[in-house]
Amino acid sequence: MSSDAPKNPLREGLLSRSVPEPCSLVIFGATGDLNHRKLIPALYNLAADGNLPPSISVIGFARREKTDEVFRTELEEAARKFSRQKINDELWKSFASGIFYHQSEFTNFEGFETLAKKLDELDAQRGTRGNRLFYLSVGPDQFPIILENLRKSGLNEAKEGSWTRVIVEKPFGTDLPSAIELNNIVHEAFHEKDTFRIDHYLGKETAQNIMVLRFANSIFEQVWNARYVHHVQITASEPLGVEGRAGYYDKSGAMRDMVQNHLLQLLTLTAMEPPTDLTADAIRDEKVKVLRSLRKITGKDVAKYTVRAQYTAGSVNGKEVVGYLDEQNVPKDSQTETYVALEANVDNWRWAGVPFFVRVGKRLPKGATEIALHFKGVPPVLFRQTEQVIDDNVLVIRIQPDEGISLRMSAKLPGSSLRIEPVKMDFHYGTSFGKATPEAYERLLLDAMAGDATLFARRDEVEEAWKFVDGIKEAWDSGEGGPVATYASGTWGPEEADELVKRHGSTWRRL
Amino acid sequence: MSEETFNPGMSVEVGRIEKELGRLWENTGDKTRASLINLAIYTETSENVAGNTELIAQIASEHACRAILIYANRTAPEIGVKAWINAHCHAVNKKEICSEQITFQLDGESPTAFANVIFAHLDSDLPFCLWWQAPFQEPHDDANLWSWVDRLIFDSNKWEDPVGQFPIVRKIAALGDARTILCDLNWTRLLSLRSALAQFFDHANALPCLDNIQAVEIVHAPGARVSALLLLGWLANQLGWQLDSVLGRHTFRGADRREITFKLIEEAGACISSCRLMTKMSKFSVDRASGGEFFHATATGGPLDSFSQILPAGRQRIADILLKELSRGGSHPLYLKSLDIIEPLLAE
């Protein structure tokens, strides 16, 4: 939206953002898990908060045969189960009256022609004015045919005075060439400004708060550099195994599933320079610079800077669980990593010499995602005589669960002798702001409807991230990256990963 | 005052309040004391103490605070101060998060006791929100206190004499180097309705209709005329209308000198149960059923296709309105401007 467009004077002083223009949201893969668990509950919550545009239409596009009524009933059940706000019958009825089902194979061009007709009818009936948002909630192998059919049927073209956008779910490609190819396919149908590559981590409040923490508090940004930071640890752990997703996961692995997108996004937000302003491109420009500054890890360096591993049988949350190779639909000789630890280096002025340790894994003792900045120690002068180890300061940004920020520092233990112990200052979102925060998908859907791409990955971000990841994957595949290590389920990963941080005189944080 | 209406916790000596609060937190295991704001409530009605304690418990579940409840028993023959402490805990992620409440009873007419108990018991470095539930007096001696107040909360809907009270509030706001933010809960009460009205005109096609409004109708509950006037003042301020009063007949004039009539209709029901904006060709209505949680927003005629939408109206319990006010933060730059416009109408 142009900044010199006339503004609604009644919006002044209201904190709520402008409600986006009415639109039709077409969800491909509408019978899938994502739509039931996330998208529909998110849309309902937006409606309950008064943030949805009037007369929005939601059209589910999927293969199975069903009526609008059956589809609405299924979605209502899902919304009652997964919505963060209790479903109000009156509001659901009003919201559900705008939900429709469109049955077609993605490969069936006729199905897109009838979709176009249906959307025109809805425009006339509901006043959605030709604004269309297509959500590709399907596997990446389906993207090309859907995008091609959208293009052939002319649905990608916005009518005069209207807009047409596409939201693409991860994984966005499986490597750089496939990502470029996919980007090209998307761009044959949609302009970059109309393409919204979703990474739900960016929609989380705590991820959005990283910029506020850094750039709205003078005390942090002053020490946010190589002069004061010893190293950074970014962790995403989960106790779950592959949970019936072996078909997808065994082809993907932790590197593609998590590192290439979520963890590198967190790294860029942590390492980026202050943007010139808060526009989408200004922020994304700075994030891309970080990705470009990442020292590529290739060839023999891969064994030195990365560790990959698979979980074996063990115990998680009191239950005995099987190893990865014994999971259903996982090939017995699979080399797919369920755990990755790596040392990344951002070769720029701010971060030269500061390692960024990234680790991600399944079947770890607990679920947690966080960024921890470990600060350098104080000069060993004043308290040398006390023969005490003074723990370094650690600033932790907890992304999930229990979102918040904590700072570890040293304090004198009460008493006549000088004893120093670490203490923690802790800020919990839940404690301070009791209200439930919106789900990531609520924010992201609303942003896409409003045309705000700040929290979405741009083409060059995705491709730069693949460049970094591909070098590692190639070395692993060629055997240069060392063997796949193992770790027992319910432990914090393989010993090899400990060695990675040990050579910098550190250990992984105990979460 | 009877014990039944007044049971705000454990009675403590005034000089030992902080010490006794500290003891509350000894050996409490998973309980965490939390505080984001100082929330002081001043009342001159003993019957309000129990209700306020309950209200503080509701507020504390979303806004951890140090709550200071002050009951000024001004007619008591002797000057004296009594104090009580208690805590409000609620579960968050298997932990108990607790807020402290200190309750004071100030007996007699001490000119300094109120300021002193406030100064002595604020949690340092946290914003100070004062909810004044009594009629405001001219701020002769309390300038020192008022300059400490970050957010002065009051509810103009409860005032018996809005004509006299608004000027005092303005004076108070000007005392602390204009730092005090005036938070009229009556203004907060209108927030959802203002959002519902605003959303009509987010669409570029509907925006020009704002320049063609010819009539406004607001239906308000008995006793909620000030709410209706504030809503009218907001519309007039945002749309550049000037009040035009001729021989006791009030209308507005737009920038193009067109006349905009308004009608305030009193009917039993929600505080504001309906607001209608009318142009020659179109009508934009927001209606709320009594007790309903939603607005029905309807646009008919004109450049927008007719549509009807359900929008959240927000609950109207005082705790919900206060929570909304505390959640928003920030200043209310339009409040005084809106008030300026409708002040001449208050007396009628």
Q: Please name the residue of chain A whose CA is at the shortest distance from the CA of residue B96.
A: A431
A453 burial via Cβ count (<10 Å: 0-12, 13-18, 19+): buried
pLDDT at A412: 82
pLDDT at A201: 84
- Interface residues of chain A, partner chain B, Cβ below 8 Å: 5-6, 8-16, 18-22, 47-50, 53-55, 88, 90-91, 94, 126-127, 401-402, 428, 430-435
pLDDT at B2: 46
Chain A hits for B202, CB-CB cut-off 8 Å, are 8, 11, 18-21, 53
Pairing of strands B215-220, B272-278: antiparallel
CB pairs under 8 A between A and B: 99
CA nearest to A50, candidates B260, B239, B77, B193: B193
Closest-CA distance, B124 to chain A, in angstroms, reads: 16
Chain A hits for B282, CB-CB cut-off 8 Å, are none
What separation in angstroms does the CA of B128 have from each of B86, B123, B144? Answer: 20, 9, 14
CA nearest to A134, candidates A110, A116, A117, A109: A116
Which amino acid type is present at position A101? Y
Rounded CA-CA distance A177/A481 in Å is 21
Q: Is the pLDDT of residue B93 over 80?
A: no
Which amino acid type is present at position B104? F
Q: Establish whether the linkage from the previous residue to A401 is cis, with ω within 30° of 0.
A: yes
Q: What is the DSSP string of A78-109?
A: HHHHH-SSPPPHHHHHHHHTTEEEEE--TT-H
Please report, for chain B, how many H helices and E strands are present, in that order. Answer: 10, 17
Comparison of pLDDT for A37 and B112, the residue scoring more:
A37
Q: Which of residues 15-44 of B touch A (CB under 8 A)?
A: 32, 34, 36
Closest-CA distance, A33 to chain B, in angstroms, reads: 26
Rounded CA-CA distance A362/A360 in Å is 7
Chain A hits for B312, CB-CB cut-off 8 Å, are 48-50
Evaluated on CA atoms A50, A51, A57, A60, the torsion sign reads: negative
pLDDT at A354: 97
CA nearest to B185, candidates B227, B144, B146, B147: B227
Rounded CA-CA distance A134/A111 in Å is 15
pLDDT band of residue B109 (cuts 50, 70, 90) is confident
Domain with CATH 3.30.360.10 in chain A: 202-502
A447 and A454 in contact (C-beta within 8 Å)? yes
Condensed to tens digits (0 to 9), the pLDDT of residues A287-302 reads: 999 999 999 999 999 9
Return the residue matching tokens 């009051």: B154
Q: Is the pLDDT of residue A315 over 80?
A: yes
Rounded CA-CA distance A206/A236 in Å is 14
Which amino acid type is present at position A116? A
Residue burial B31-60, b: 16+ Cβ < 10 Å; e: rest: ebbbbbbbbbbbbeeeebbeebbebbbbbb
CB atoms within 10 A of CB B252: 21
CB atoms within 10 A of CB A117: 11
pLDDT band of residue A148 (cuts 50, 70, 90) is very high
pLDDT at B202: 81
Q: Is B332 on the interface with A (CB under 8 A)?
A: yes
Contact: A9, B238; criterion CB under 8 Å: yes
Beta-strand ranges (E) seen in A387-493 are: 394-400, 404-412, 420-428, 485-488
pLDDT at B30: 74
pLDDT at B293: 84
Condensed to tens digits (0 to 9), the pLDDT of residues A159-182 reads: 888 999 999 988 888 899 999 999
pLDDT at B145: 77
B277 and B216 in contact (C-beta within 8 Å)? yes
Of the listed ranges A3-17, B155-169, B228-242, B303-317, the least confidently predicted one is: A3-17
pLDDT at A267: 97
Closest-CA distance, B235 to chain A, in angstroms, reads: 7
Structural fold of domain A20-169:
Rossmann fold (3.40.50)
Rounded CA-CA distance A402/B32 in Å is 15
Query: Residue B87 forms beta bridges with which residues?
Result: B100
Contact: A10, B90; criterion CB under 8 Å: no
pLDDT at A55: 79
pLDDT at A435: 64
pLDDT at A387: 67
pLDDT at A436: 66
Could you tell me where the DSSP H helices lie in A127-216?
143-152, 176-189, 205-215
User: In the numeric block, which tokens belong to residue A284?
Assistant: 């994304």
pLDDT at A360: 97
User: In the numeric block, which tokens belong to residue B269?
Assistant: 């029901």
Return the residue matching tokens 């910098």: A504
Chain A hits for B330, CB-CB cut-off 8 Å, are 15
Condensed to tens digits (0 to 9), the pLDDT of residues A41-67 reads: 999 999 998 888 877 899 999 999 999
Nearest to B202 among A18, A91, A126 (CB): A18
Give percent above pLDDT 70 in chain A: 97
pLDDT at B114: 85
* Interface residue of A4, A10, A90 to substitute, partner B, most B CBs within 10 Å: A10
Q: Is the pLDDT of residue B156 over 90?
A: yes
In three-state secondary structure terms, A24 is strand
Q: Is the pLDDT of residue B1 over 60?
A: no
Give percent above pLDDT 90 in chain B: 52
CA nearest to A360, candidates A504, A262, A468: A262
In three-state secondary structure terms, A450 is helix
Q: Is the pLDDT of residue A194 over 50?
A: yes
Condensed to tens digits (0 to 9), the pLDDT of residues B29-62 reads: 778 888 889 999 999 998 898 899 999 999 998 8
Q: Is the pLDDT of residue B143 over 70?
A: no
| CATH code assigned to A202-502 | 3.30.360.10
Q: Is B63 on the interface with A (CB under 8 A)?
A: yes
Q: Is the pLDDT of residue A242 over 70?
A: yes
Percent helix, strand, coil in chain A, to 5, is 40, 20, 40
Task: Share the mean pLDDT of chain A.
Answer: 90
Rounded CA-CA distance B335/B331 in Å is 9
CA nearest to B64, candidates B86, B97, B92: B97
Pairing of strands B181-184, A229-237: unpaired
Chain B hits for A13, CB-CB cut-off 8 Å, are 332-334
In three-state secondary structure terms, A67 is coil
Beta-strand ranges (E) seen in chain B are: 10-12, 31-33, 37-43, 65-73, 80-92, 95-107, 128-132, 151-154, 181-184, 215-220, 242-246, 249-253, 259-266, 272-278, 283-288, 294-300, 307-312
Contact: A50, B92; criterion CB under 8 Å: no
Chain A hits for B239, CB-CB cut-off 8 Å, are 9-10
Closest-CA distance, B345 to chain A, in angstroms, reads: 22
Rounded CA-CA distance B151/B37 in Å is 10
Rounded CA-CA distance A447/B276 in Å is 30
ipTM associated with this complex = 0.87
pLDDT at B4: 45
What separation in angstroms does the CA of A258 have from each of A121, A243, A337? Answer: 41, 16, 11
pLDDT band of residue B337 (cuts 50, 70, 90) is very high
Beta-strand ranges (E) seen in A285-403 are: 306-312, 314-316, 319-321, 339-345, 355-361, 368-375, 394-400
Phi, psi (degrees; rounded to nearest 5) at A340: -135, 135
Rounded CA-CA distance B261/A491 in Å is 73
- Annotated domain spans of chain B: 10-134, 188-346
Q: Which of A187, A262, A374, A428 is catalytic?
A: A262
A344 and A356 in contact (C-beta within 8 Å)? yes
Rounded CA-CA distance A427/B278 in Å is 49
pLDDT band of residue A1 (cuts 50, 70, 90) is very low
Task: Share the mean pLDDT of chain B.
Answer: 88
Of the listed ranges A246-250, A501-505, B46-50, B178-182, the least confidently predicted one is: B178-182
Q: Is B312 on the interface with A (CB under 8 A)?
A: yes
pLDDT at B176: 63
Domain with CATH 3.40.50.720 in chain A: 20-169
Nearest to A88 among B36, B196, B293 (CB): B293
pLDDT, average across residues A262-280: 94
Chain B hits for A55, CB-CB cut-off 8 Å, are 305, 307, 309
Nearest to A11 among B198, B239, B328 (CB): B198
Q: Is the pLDDT of residue A363 over 70?
A: yes
Nearest to A8 among B36, B93, B207 (CB): B207
Contact: A14, B310; criterion CB under 8 Å: no
pLDDT band of residue A16 (cuts 50, 70, 90) is low
User: In the numeric block, which tokens belong to residue A25?
Assistant: 């949201």
Contact: B92, A431; criterion CB under 8 Å: yes
Contact: B64, A431; criterion CB under 8 Å: yes
pTM of the model: 0.82
pLDDT at B304: 67
Distance of CA A443 to the CA centre of its chain: 13
Chain A hits for B302, CB-CB cut-off 8 Å, are none
Q: Is the pLDDT of residue A2 over 90?
A: no
Could you tell me where the DSSP H helices lie in B63-161?
113-121, 143-146
Structural fold of domain B188-346:
Dihydrodipicolinate Reductase; domain 2 (3.30.360)
Residue burial B216-237, b: 16+ Cβ < 10 Å; e: rest: bbbbbbeebbbbbbbbbbbbbb
User: In the numeric block, which tokens belong to residue B170?
Assistant: 């303005």
Contact: A431, B305; criterion CB under 8 Å: no
Contact: A9, B304; criterion CB under 8 Å: no
In three-state secondary structure terms, A482 is coil
Name the DSSP class of A286. Answer: H
Query: Residue B83 forms beta bridges with which residues?
Result: B12, B104
What separation in angstroms does the CA of B61 have from each of A439, B49, B90, B98, B323? Answer: 20, 19, 6, 8, 10
* Interface residue of A44, A93, A431 to substitute, partner B, most B CBs within 10 Å: A431
Contact: B92, A12; criterion CB under 8 Å: no
Q: Is the pLDDT of residue A384 over 60?
A: yes
Q: For helices A109-126 and A143-152, what crossing angle results, to 10°? A: 60
pLDDT band of residue B212 (cuts 50, 70, 90) is very high
Condensed to tens digits (0 to 9), the pLDDT of residues A198-225 reads: 888 888 888 888 999 999 999 999 999 9
pLDDT, average across residues A407-413: 87
Comparison of pLDDT for B22 and B204, the residue scoring more:
B22
Could you tell me where the DSSP H helices lie in A294-344?
301-305
Active site residue A36: no
Return the residue matching tokens 């005329």: B225
Contact: A55, B307; criterion CB under 8 Å: yes
pLDDT, average across residues A229-255: 91
Q: Which of residues 287-306 of B touch A (CB under 8 A)?
A: 293-294, 297, 304-306
Evaluated on CA atoms A364, A366, A370, A371, the torsion sign reads: negative
Contact: B297, A54; criterion CB under 8 Å: yes
Return the residue matching tokens 């425009």: A123
pLDDT at A395: 96
What separation in angstroms does the CA of A241 have from each of A362, A490, B288, B324? Answer: 6, 11, 50, 42
pLDDT at B7: 66
